[in-house]
Structure 1
Amino acid sequence: MDQFFDTIGGGGIATLLLAAVIIISVFKGVRIVPQAEKHVVERFGRLRTVLGPGINFIVPFFDRVAHKISILERQLPTASQDAITTDNVLVQVDTSVFYRILEPEKTVYRIRDVDAAIATTVAGIVRAEIGKMELDEVQANRAALIATIKASVEDAVDDWGIEVTRAEILDVNLDQATREAMLQQLNAERERRAQVTKAEGQKRAVELQADAQLYAAEQAAKARRMQADAEAYATGVVAAAIQDNGLEAAQYQVALKQVEALNALGNGPTKSTIVVPANALEAFGDAFKMLRGRTS
């Protein structure tokens, strides 16, 4: 070794040391940051800068990468917290939160355990929001409740350089006593609806039957009215004929009715012999004379 140093001399040693320093400086001064990360650089213990993805340069021996922060979206483990609604129902709510770090310098220097801090914040907000609602509202307005929780969590973690990308209520569980009470209420409601449906059906059947009877009565009345109109018309025609032709028209109508009656008796099913008085025959004769006179 001594022979080696004697060979290169003092100038060569200095050159080697300078080359080594340059290589180390380049190695420490050039930082390649992956796409999914950001690096927090400190100088003498203070925040110097935040390096983004790609090639970056820092001052060697003075600056150092103190924290390497992933900026990928993260999911907190599913958490369960108890809450009491305004109608005094104890529920257990399962929640899950997704977030990502946008400003690593805030996350590093303002909060020690970001996951635990977010989980605690979410638990408090969920209890507060559910405490403002009744159980039925919690079940029916889950989407609105999730949006409210997400907005509240975003406001709470804004100083930590975090963006809450999604908040989910996975399930709302009830104790056994509340479940049984709700099941009884549900069965009672189903029975009530069935009775209402049956009553409405019976009512509709009665209404339809009444409508049918009313329709039949209206049709019968209409038929009687038409028949009365026809008889009134016939009477009017006869009256008009009597007015125009006097007694002769009336005698003609009487003779016509006599002939029709005689034909009906003669064409009867019994085929019986008809005996009439002499004066009746004279009346029939007069009727036939009047009929022949009308037709001629």
Structure 2
Amino acid sequence: MLEELLGAAVGVGAAGLVYVAAAARVVKQYERGVVLRLGRLVGEVRPPGFTLIVPIVDRMHKVNMQIVTMPVPAQEGITRDNVTVRVDAVVYFKVVDAASALIKVEDYKYAVSQMAQTSLRSIIGKSDLDDLLSNREKLNQGLELMIDSPAVGWGVQVDRVEIKDVSLPDTMKRSMARQAEADRERRARIINADAELQASKKLAEAAHQMADAPSALQLRLLQTVMAVAAEKNSTLVLPIPVELLRFLERGEDHERHVKRAPEPAPGHALEGAAGEDAHPAVEPRAEREVERTIEDIIEDATGQ
């Protein structure tokens, strides 16, 4: 009798162990367990850890709750300003309701992928090329809203959508490069014109200052000569002020006028010399020699 009881206990224990082994399930920390009993949802979603189900009758499906990174294949479309582009993106999403993600949609990953591609094509057609290139943050928000709206009913939450790359045709790239070059050239010309305007104002002020003080022109001439001499060149170019040439020209004209004038009578000469407003008929000899000497120097320099 005792042996029969022991055998029965061992049999029950073995059956219990087999039952527990068949019913035991382990749900990982990043998973949730959804139990279907005879095809119907039973109870709440099983949390992480050790759990038991009814063998043969219950089926447990584990749903991953981690954030999924899904690349969206490059989509080709025409922007609102009639430019053909290829745009690819990446979607970050996660499951927030394991039961809905398992029951309401056949394959939530495939559904999110198709919705992302459709939304990306739609956002390309509604945007300009400049927005795709420079205003991506706003487009990312719009794309995220378009994908997240239907995904909420699937138990999926879209965390973030990023446009990765925008591919342009080669002709459009060359056109944009020419546009950027023309814009930079325009700004360079404006800066040069502004510099010329400021320089002309300063030169006009300097000219007025030199007109009030003629000695300033001579000082500027000497400074120029010093600057040229500092280069240690074999040839020294000496600029001659225009005022000096005009002075020599006036002296030459006056000398010719004096030579052409008739000599006055001795009596008239004495009367003219005695008068207070009389002018000398002939220039002093020393001044004429200085003018001739300067004239000879200029002629020698011109001949060389």
Moved more, 201-210 or 95-104: 201-210
Is 1:161 aligned to residue 155 of structure 2? yes
The alpha-carbon distance between structure 1 residues 213 and 130, as it changes in their structure 2 partners (threshold 3 A), is farther
Distance in 1 (alpha carbons) for counterparts of 2:176 and 2:169: 11
The alpha-carbon distance between structure 1 residues 153 and 78, as it changes in their structure 2 partners (threshold 3 A), is closer
The alpha-carbon distance between structure 1 residues 121 and 7, as it changes in their structure 2 partners (threshold 3 A), is same
Structure-1 residue corresponding to 2:108: 114
Structure-1 residue corresponding to 2:58: 63
Deviation at 1:128, TM superposition (A): 1.9
Is 1:136 aligned to residue 130 of structure 2? yes
Q: Normalization by structure 2: what TM-score? A: 0.62
1:172-229 Cα distance to aligned partner (Å, 9 max, x none): 1101121122222222222222222222221222233345567x49x99xxxxxxxxx
Distance in 2 (alpha carbons) for counterparts of 1:133 and 1:148: 11
The 5 A counterparts of 1:50-129 are 50-65=45-60, 67-129=61-123
Distance in 2 (alpha carbons) for counterparts of 1:7 and 1:77: 68
Moved more, 179-188 or 168-177: 179-188
Distance in 2 (alpha carbons) for counterparts of 1:153 and 1:122: 6
The 5 A counterparts of 1:253-264 are none
Distance in 2 (alpha carbons) for counterparts of 1:208 and 1:87: 49
The 5 A counterparts of 1:1-296 are 8-9=3-4, 11-48=5-42, 49-65=44-60, 67-210=61-204, 216=209
SS, match of residue 69 in structure 1: strand
The alpha-carbon distance between structure 1 residues 35 and 130, as it changes in their structure 2 partners (threshold 3 A), is same
Deviation at 1:113, TM superposition (A): 2.6
The alpha-carbon distance between structure 1 residues 213 and 151, as it changes in their structure 2 partners (threshold 3 A), is farther
Q: What's the % identity of the aligned pairs?
A: 32
Q: Is the 8 A contact 1:42 1:64 kept in 2?
A: yes
Deviation at 1:122, TM superposition (A): 1.4
Q: Is the 8 A contact 2:27 2:62 kept in 1?
A: no
For the pair shown, the structure with the greater C-alpha radius of gyration is 1
Distance in 1 (alpha carbons) for counterparts of 2:59 and 2:18: 13
Distance in 2 (alpha carbons) for counterparts of 1:22 and 1:95: 53
Q: Normalization by structure 1: what TM-score? A: 0.63
Q: Is the 8 A contact 2:140 2:163 kept in 1?
A: yes
Deviation at 1:111, TM superposition (A): 1.8
Distance in 2 (alpha carbons) for counterparts of 1:169 and 1:212: 59
Deviation at 1:151, TM superposition (A): 2.3
**CA RMSD, Structure 1 to Structure 2 (Å):** 2.7
Q: Is the 8 A contact 1:44 1:62 kept in 2?
A: yes
Unmatched tracts of structure 2, length 5 or more: 214-304
